[in-house]
């Protein structure tokens, strides 16, 4: 998985699964973090749901989560201000 700590933020590659039966973050899907959301990929609804799911999982405000690349696709790169690799390990159950 590609993750980078930088200036108090964590940059992650994610794979979005829209229209899921429930929202969840994890496990890994290949080299990307899987983020399932219930929203369809229409009018930015899935992107908003991804931001909300990641903010809740990492315990940060929604404003701290930014989609850096891939706004219109399922493969995205996100930056989460205030997140750490320790938090990622906790989400993945590695701690």
Which of 47, 43, 44, 45 shows the shortest CA–CA distance to 16?
Answer: 47
* Structural domain boundaries, residue 7: 3-92
Exposure string of 1-32, with b = 16+ CB inside 10 Å and e = fewer, is eeeeeeeebbbbbbbbbbeeeebebeeeeeeb
pLDDT digits (tens, 9 = 90+) for 39-93: 999 999 999 999 999 999 999 999 999 999 999 999 999 999 998 888 888 888 8
* CATH number of the structural domain spanning residue 66: 3.30.1200.10
pLDDT band at 95 (very low <50, low <70, confident <90, very high): very low
pLDDT at 94 over 60: no
Are 35 and 68 in contact by the 8 Å Cβ rule? The answer is no
What is the tally of structural domains in the chain? 1
Cα torsion 8, 29, 76, 36 to 10°: value is -100
């Amino acid at each position: 998985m590609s993750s980078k700590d930088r200036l108090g933020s964590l940059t992650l590659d994610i794979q979005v699964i829209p229209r899921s039966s429930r929202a969840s973050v994890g496990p890994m899907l290949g080299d990307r973090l899987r983020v399932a959301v219930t929203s369809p990929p229409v009018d930015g609804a899935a992107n908003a749901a991804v931001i909300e799911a990641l903010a809740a999982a990492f315990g940060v405000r929604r404003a701290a989560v930014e989609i850096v690349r891939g706004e219109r696709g399922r493969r995205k790169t996100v930056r989460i201000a205030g997140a750490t690799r320790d938090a990622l390990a906790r989400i993945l159950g590695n701690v």
